[in-house]
Amino acid sequence: MIQVKNVSKVYEVADGQFYALKNVSMEIKDKEYVGILGTSGSGKSTLMHIIGLLDQPTMGEVLINGKNAEKLSDNELSSLRGQTIGFVFQQFNLIQKLTVLENVLLPTVYAKHKLSFNVNDYGMELLGLFGIAEKANSYPNRLSGGQQQRVAIARALIMKPTVVLADEPTGNLDSKTGEEILQLMEKLNKDLGVTITIVTHDKNVAHRTKRQIFVKDGEIVKKY
Please say whether the beta carbons of 189 and 31 come within 8 A: yes
Please report the pLDDT score of residue 216 as a whole number: 96
pLDDT reading at 190 higher than 90: yes
**Total-model pTM:** 0.91
pLDDT > 70 fraction of the chain, expressed in percent and rounded: 100
Cα–Cα distances in angstroms (integers) from residue 85 to residues 48, 98, 157, in the given order = 11, 23, 9
Its CATH architecture, for the domain 31-56+72-221, is 3-Layer(aba) Sandwich (3.40)
Please report the pLDDT score of residue 75 as a whole number: 87
Distance of CA 51 to the CA centre of its chain: 9
Any idea where the domains of the chain sit in the sequence? 31-56+72-221
DSSP class of 69: G
Please report the pLDDT score of residue 110 as a whole number: 81
SS3 14: coil
pLDDT reading at 224 higher than 70: no
pLDDT reading at 180 higher than 90: yes
Please report the pLDDT score of residue 119 as a whole number: 94
- Average pLDDT score, the chain: 93
